[in-house]
Chains A and B, each alone.
Chain A
Amino acid sequence: MYADLLNGRKEGEIKILMLGWELPPFHSGGLGIACEGLTKSLSRLGVEIAFVLPKVYSGGYDWMKVYDASDMLLENGFSHKCVELAKENKCCLVNGYQKINIDSQKKGMCQLCVGQFDNSPYAHVNFYTRGVKALAQNLQYDLIHAHDWMTYPAGIAAKVVAKEKNKLTPFLAQVHATEVDRHDGKFIYETEKAGFNAADRVVAVSYLTKNTVNMYYGIDQNKISVVHNGIDPREIQLNPKNPIKKKYKVVLFLGRVTFQKGPDYFVKVAKKVTDSYPNVKFMMLGSGDMQTRMIEEGAREGLTGKLLFNSWISDQDKDAAYQLADVFVMPSVSEPFGIVPLEAIQNGTPVIVSKSSGVAEVIANCAKVDFWDIDMMADEIIKLLKDKKYAKTMIDGAKKEVEGLTWDRSAKEMIRVYEQTMGGKVYA
């Protein structure tokens, strides 16, 4: 039924070697969810995908072939303590997306084997690259699609492997987030930059990110395409109305509590709004390295019982939380895309998003504020809480918009980019 998209090609004619760091249910953030959504739709549209993970924890990815980079390392006679531990599920490779710097003595990051590493600060990336290199020898692929910096070195390696077989294979580097958003370290920035330079095409998840890649990495605008993320429609289980809603309004923040997400602005706006409207509860759901500071700051501001926290929340409870909320706020300092507001909208909650977010480009029916503009954010919250008609118009419109933002739409755009890249001069 997608014959029009195949442009006369047969199903499976585009073979993609896709390099990713995580897939649900073992994911730490939006990256895994985006990879799952995109590959499912690409596969539905006839694209054949070989997906390589640093470590495969479970099966069930029946829409594509999933390979394990650590398997390949062992099969090829490469042995390392870390890889052995990974095989026994004792190494948290899968958590590596957030904090893979082994220099930091953070708990949970390879404490088991860290002492036995060589000097490479990003050993997992190196292992992954070696694994992909070994795998690529035996795979047929027309294009390499790598997600974020951890997989760029492997993307470059896969291109070299193809070249050794006298095949010119384009390398597409997709950017879900950059070091400019995260501020983790220079090494990552350099890896990103090398990846963008080596890539035949860069795909950004938003115009915001395209600008970042252009301005901070010096990559030509013409080399960068934009493919926004999607969200598939789904059946939402409606929870019974919580009795506290008779008296209270709820404003929700949901996501990692890190600098990038602007939680401190949420605390400030909570103080401002509750000073005038004590019946408004602010909830900050999620954990992260800024959580304890936010809790202490809330307490200092006397927001006990007004600003509430929860460190962990199940997917099922997430829906309940969205539904409990009257307004969802994403005050991110820097958000390349930001899928969470779309989930809130699916649950019928109007959203306020930071202007520094990619999602602001695809939803018109929302309030858009500068993350630092507490006054404006407070005004918008109060307006949405007070003016039911305004809130209803906004959420009705937003719901319609979200219905159109499917992963199929993203996948179609991606296929167009694949075709342009493969049909480019160099690879004619």
Chain B
Amino acid sequence: MPSVCFYFHVHQPIRVKKFGVLDIGKNIDYFDDRHNKAILNKVATKCYIPANNLIYDLIKRHDGKFKVSYSITGTFLDQAKMWRPDLIESFQKLASTGQVEFLAETYYHSLTSLFSENEFYDQVEKHILTIQELFGQTPKVFRNTELVYYDYLAKLVSKFGFKAILAEGWDKILDWRSPNFVYETKDSHLKLLLKNYKLSDDIAFRFSNKAWEEWPLTSEKFANWIHAVNGNGQVVNLFMDYETLGEHQWEDTGIFDFLEKVPEQILKHPDMDFVTVGQEAERYPATDVVSMPSPVSWADTERDLSAWTGNAMQQSSLHSLYSLEEKIKKTKDSKLLEDWRKLQTSDNFYYMCTKWFNDGDVHKYFNAYDRPHDAYIYFSNILVDLIHRLEEKLEEAEAKVSGGLGKVMEEVQGAGI
């Protein structure tokens, strides 16, 4: 009696401006509000609004038998709060059905787990608090940015008391094992929920591909594939970007009609049901331990980190950015800290990716700039400006200290934050 778990990732990066060398030192904001707002509005129309409405209808129609799980990034929530509060309300309405579970992740959709443990904790905590505040739930399941998972990550998140963590069900790791079972992380007792990438990608990537032999994909056909798991698995994890619905696969591909019929088709089989990620972790015992010593992501054909850390521009930018942590935190300047964190969003490094072969099309489509090199140019110019601001702040603080009572006062104030 296998279950189906729909998990959607909701994200919008906060894209940076085309920041020139002559903009440095002039107190110019880094983030391209106009552009970001326009994109949020566009995707809201094409995806968030119609998709949320449909999911809500499906939950109501199936009387609680249809369930979904979401992880929503802090960068999305920040922008929605500013420009589209109706989107937050729409997700709150979904939360109120009781059939929707929200996951935890790094607030800024960052790769910080790989670079700074303290910063990682800060960002996960900030995200948990935000989800609690907005949706009245405490996340029980964690997903790392880009589904990046490695054994040590399970240890890292253990202090939050999560029940489970998501990862890619990558053949090279699983070998003969199937992603349709619940596993356990190595050396810690977290459940590991693995994405069935074949069935997920049938929707996320291949749905509208007319060259695909299975095109057109109907809900009946898809439900049959899922039913085939019966007797040979516990669960089918369909993990994908929420923007698949209407934005990556446009409405005219029939994606919404497809999704609308999927629940009834799947529920036709009396043995099958839908679960959220937390229910899945609770209901099914782990069948085995799965170990991923080095990071595995859900991106590209390599399923590694090369889309974000593969070339020198990305490595040097990441290194420069994370090397500022101690000083940034020392200033206790909230604007500086927030800017630094927004720059950590993994998309900033994805834009610098120069792998143009198999995944080239995807990369090009999602690049906010003309060339990866332009993304690097703007990012490094911004970095210089950020460091300039940082040093000014530190000097100000030092001047206060040498002024006498300053240091004591600063500590007192600092303790209050």
Contacts and interface: CB of A to CB of B under 8 A. Distances in A.
A190 interface: no
Given A296-B313, A299-B316, A310-B21, A244 B377 contact: no
B312 A300 contact: yes
B374 A311 contact: yes
A250 to B, nearest CB: 9
Nearest to A300: B312
Nearest to A248: B388
Interface of B is mostly: helix
A304 interface: yes
B387 A295 contact: no
A363 B371 CA distance: 39
B25 A295 contact: no
A305 B380 contact: yes
A292 B371 contact: yes
A304 B383 contact: yes
A308 B22 contact: no
A299 B315 contact: yes
Interface string A256-298: 0000000000000000000000000101010000011001100
B391 A305 contact: no
Contacts of B392: 243
A295 B377 CA distance: 8
Question: Interface extent on A, as a size class?
Answer: 20 to 34
A157 interface: no
B21 A309 contact: yes
A320 interface: yes
A313 B21 CA distance: 10
Contact of A321 (B22, B25, B313, B373): B22
A264 to B, nearest CB: 15
A305 B25 contact: no
B22 A320 contact: yes
Interface string B24-47: 111000000000000000000000
B319 A302 contact: yes
A295 B313 contact: yes
B320 interface: yes
A104 interface: no
Contacts of A304: 313, 316-317, 319-320, 376, 380, 383
A49 B72 CA distance: 69
A253 to B, nearest CB: 12
Interface in A303-329: 303-305, 308-311, 313, 317, 320-321, 324
B133 to A, nearest CB: 36
B360 interface: no
Contact of B25 (A243, A291, A311): A243
A281 B388 CA distance: 12
3 tightest CB-CB pairs across the interface, nearest first?
A244-B25, A299-B312, A304-B316
22 contacts: A242-B24, A242-B26, A244-B24, A244-B388, A245-B25, A281-B384, A296-B373, A299-B311, A299-B376, A300-B316, A304-B316, A304-B319, A304-B383, A308-B380, A308-B384, A309-B377, A309-B380, A310-B21, A310-B22, A317-B20, A321-B21, A321-B22
